[in-house]
Structure 1
Amino acid sequence: MELYDLCHTNKSRPFIIAEMSGNHNQSLERALEIVDAAAAAGVDALKIQTYTADTMTLDIDTGEFFIADKDSLWKGESLYHLYEKAHTPWEWHKPIFDRCREHGIIGFSTPFDDSAVDFLEELGVPCYKIASFENVDLPLIKKAARTGKPMIVSTGMTNLAELEELVTTARENGCTDLTLLKCTSSYPATPEGTNLMTIPHMRELFGCKVGLSDHTLGIGAAVASVALGADVIEKHFTLSRAEGGVDSAFSLEPREMVRLVRECETAALALGTVSYAMQTQEKKSLQFRRSLYIAEDMKAGDVLTAQNMRRIRPGFGLAPKYYDALLGRKVKRDVKRGTPLAWDLVE
């Protein structure tokens, strides 16, 4: 089964995923409220993450296990403590997925190790997402691919050789529905570092669906990706940035997610096809084109001049292209000011 057949999604626009991540702030009630808000915003799916601090790293708070980068959103945290705070308890997964089903949207997750895949299989998730930081974990990709379910893989930090490896691994192990998401693994990411032009190039290189996992602020980059053929768009989602959360700084709030869904649909509809033909909806506007009109009362035999013949709106007279040819010709009969010029009026 393909990703787009998993629910009654609006196929006139990309498949839109709201990523909860750790924005539940360790409250199941808040997590369920996030599901409700995402569904109300019109997304197709809500995604969580399946790991524990112990499946992610070691309980060490010094050296490379400690985040000292002054520019990091998570400066001053050990990796272990950060993942403890951000993880979604495994016992919450079922109620979250159940709430998604109640709303008619897809609930799924990103597994971060083999045990997470096994757990998610027990819950019957319909597809898998592989995070950028795990896209070089080929054994994990192999494990998820062997379920035979659709896979979405973020491509942050990868080079072409690594992309080739992950695509080959997924396909050789049973994945027949693969989506690659252009991703910049910076939090937040800058527009100039997003390189959306990579999206159609990835589709051509790997012959798969493509999209964007967007960490920029706002919705501009995501909407722009629609014009480049994005099939899937993923954005982090929170109820309120002001209430904090590990990823809240670069997450959309509900009103912004509503705009994202609406503007992506508008962008997708606006793409249309290559067409130079007049659209049916334009026909009524023809009357407001410029055309040739008599601008002064004239008597039979008077000569058409720049003063008594003008190129004006509306468009019921002869086309302006005949202006030069008509200058100096005489009218056959008396003509009132405001008469559209026609061939039967001139000698």
Structure 2
Amino acid sequence: MKYSNKSDKSVYIIAEMSANHAGSLSRAKEIIHAAKEAGADCIKIQTYTADTITMNCNNKYFQIDGGTWNGENLYSLYQKAFTPWEWQAELKAESDKVGIDFFSTPFDKTAVDFLESIGMEFYKIASFELVDIPLIEYVASKGKPIIMSTGMATLGEIEDAVNVVRRQNNNQLALLRCASAYPAITDEMNLKTMVNMKETFDVPVGLSDHSMGSLGAVTAVAMGASIIEKHFCISRDVDNPDASFSMEVAEFASMVRDIRTVEKAIGQVKYGAAKQEEENVKFRKSIFAVKDIKAGEEFTADNVRVIRPGYGLKPKYYNDILGKHARVDIERGTPIQYGIIE
């Protein structure tokens, strides 16, 4: 699994398929291929059924009031959004074939057992499930890496979830800052929280980003994110519960390019001239003769100055050479070096 065994330090970019297959296995496979071409490291799905994630009930507690899914009943929404379990081994095989990592979010223990049966190598815990401590404990007991979103969570709730993973002797954990709104707004992303999570829990961190555009994701990388997750679709015109806040292929590819550019800009701690600057070192200032100077003549503020370019002694030696004398005749425009000073 690439995330836990990466030999490089590049950001791990996850394309979340979620419901964007819109009930079509062929479209799900198309999304896998498109994600690979757009530069994603990984494709993620979700493993639940309407019956494993909720119950078939129409009372007020199960109705959605407001937001993207206003007026929906939870059970009917999940019936439309779920990824059939009978597809999932085939989707994993398709991902293996095209060379992109594949993992899933389980929402109950039966989903974990199923994913284990098809050889799942790592797991996602969704923000809404961060408080499901028995589920997290069961996932952690499998000894696989876990990426956990933290939308809505208090510091105490995150601590509970992290502790239950570690009690299973599983230290392969990463935490994602997340705003659990669909779509989220950048103004409330609070990416400093991501940095604080890294300091508090000593784990890799990243961003599960439901906002439109890539500004939040690229900023998160600049602030130290190791993982970026974005919902991904072929087209937002394909009707499904997640389309409105998902990235299309060209948008995702543009985000990947921006992230890779930011990574290069972050670079490493390095002082001195970078390769692109080497040719310009000669245009720094140094000490030059600005008048003809005879052998034995004294160096003064009138005949030597600190000017561009940089072929002479460094300016910090200027006061040291004033009052000294020329060893040879020096022509105006000659860089001053120690060999011509008595």
* Superposition TM-score tier, normalisation by shorter sequence: 0.7 to 0.9
Q: How does 1:1-347 map to 2 (within 5 A)?
A: 3-5=3-5, 9=6, 11-61=8-58, 63-69=60-66, 72-279=67-274, 282-294=277-289, 298=292, 300=294, 311-321=306-316, 338-342=333-337
What is the rounded CA distance, in whole Å, between the counterparts of 2:304 and 2:235 in structure 1?
64
1:109–1:128 Cα contact (<8 Å) kept: yes
Map Cα deviations across residues 229-288 of structure 1 (whole Å, 9 max, x no partner): 323221111122344432233322223333333333343344344444444664432112
2:293–2:303 Cα contact (<8 Å) kept: no
SS in 1 for 2:4: helix
Q: What residue identity is the alignment partner of 1:236?
A: H
Number of paired residues?
341
When structure 1 is superposed on structure 2, of 192-201 and 132-141 the one drifting more is 192-201
1:145–1:170 Cα contact (<8 Å) kept: yes
Q: What residue identity is the alignment partner of 2:4?
A: Y
Q: What residue identity is the alignment partner of 2:36?
A: A
How far does residue 204 in structure 1 lie from its aligned partner after superposition? 3.1
TM-score by length of 2: 0.85
What is the rounded CA distance, in whole Å, between the counterparts of 2:138 and 2:14 in structure 1?
23
What is the rounded CA distance, in whole Å, between the counterparts of 2:336 and 2:230 in structure 1?
58
What is the rounded CA distance, in whole Å, between the counterparts of 2:243 and 2:189 in structure 1?
20
Where in structure 2 are there 5+ consecutive unaligned residues?
A: none
What is the rounded CA distance, in whole Å, between the counterparts of 1:230 and 1:299 in structure 2?
60
1:131–1:154 Cα contact (<8 Å) kept: yes
How far does residue 199 in structure 1 lie from its aligned partner after superposition? 2.5
How far does residue 141 in structure 1 lie from its aligned partner after superposition? 1.2
SS in 2 for 1:241: coil
Q: In percent, how many aligned pairs have the same letter? A: 47
Residue 345 to residue 170, structure 1, CA distance change in 2 (3 Å): closer
1:2–1:150 Cα contact (<8 Å) kept: no
SS in 2 for 1:180: strand
When structure 1 is superposed on structure 2, of 146-155 and 199-208 the one drifting more is 199-208
SS in 1 for 2:230: strand
Q: What residue identity is the alignment partner of 1:39?
A: K
How far does residue 102 in structure 1 lie from its aligned partner after superposition? 0.4
What is the rounded CA distance, in whole Å, between the counterparts of 2:200 and 2:323 in structure 1?
64
SS in 2 for 1:218: coil
Map Cα deviations across residues 16-50 of structure 1 (whole Å, 9 max, x no partner): 21111111122211111110011112222110011
What is the rounded CA distance, in whole Å, between the counterparts of 1:225 and 1:291 in structure 2?
42
What is the rounded CA distance, in whole Å, between the counterparts of 2:143 and 2:7 in structure 1?
24
Map Cα deviations across residues 70-107 of structure 1 (whole Å, 9 max, x no partner): xx122232222221221111122122111110022221
Q: What residue identity is the alignment partner of 1:68?
A: D
How far does residue 223 in structure 1 lie from its aligned partner after superposition? 2.5
What is the rounded CA distance, in whole Å, between the counterparts of 1:333 and 1:18 in structure 2?
71
1:50–1:112 Cα contact (<8 Å) kept: yes
TM-score by length of 1: 0.84
Q: What residue identity is the alignment partner of 2:20?
A: N
What is the rounded CA distance, in whole Å, between the counterparts of 2:145 and 2:201 in structure 1?
16
Q: What residue identity is the alignment partner of 1:4?
A: S
What is the rounded CA distance, in whole Å, between the counterparts of 2:334 and 2:207 in structure 1?
57
1:238–1:253 Cα contact (<8 Å) kept: yes
2:11–2:226 Cα contact (<8 Å) kept: yes
Q: What residue identity is the alignment partner of 2:149?
A: S
Where in structure 1 are there 5+ consecutive unaligned residues?
A: none
Map Cα deviations across residues 282-321 of structure 1 (whole Å, 9 max, x no partner): 443211212344567x475999898976654322134344
What is the rounded CA distance, in whole Å, between the counterparts of 1:343 and 1:273 in structure 2?
36
Map Cα deviations across residues 154-198 of structure 1 (whole Å, 9 max, x no partner): 111111221122122222235331221111112222223222222
Q: What residue identity is the alignment partner of 2:50?
A: A
Map Cα deviations across residues 180-227 of structure 1 (whole Å, 9 max, x no partner): 111111222222322222233223322333222122222222223234
2:4–2:145 Cα contact (<8 Å) kept: no
When structure 1 is superposed on structure 2, of 117-126 and 234-243 the one drifting more is 234-243
1:12–1:269 Cα contact (<8 Å) kept: no
What is the rounded CA distance, in whole Å, between the counterparts of 1:346 and 1:179 in structure 2?
63
Q: What residue identity is the alignment partner of 1:38?
A: A
What is the rounded CA distance, in whole Å, between the counterparts of 2:201 and 2:224 in structure 1?
14
1:55–1:113 Cα contact (<8 Å) kept: yes
Residue 148 to residue 326, structure 1, CA distance change in 2 (3 Å): closer
2:273–2:281 Cα contact (<8 Å) kept: no
How far does residue 127 in structure 1 lie from its aligned partner after superposition? 1.1
Residue 179 to residue 292, structure 1, CA distance change in 2 (3 Å): same
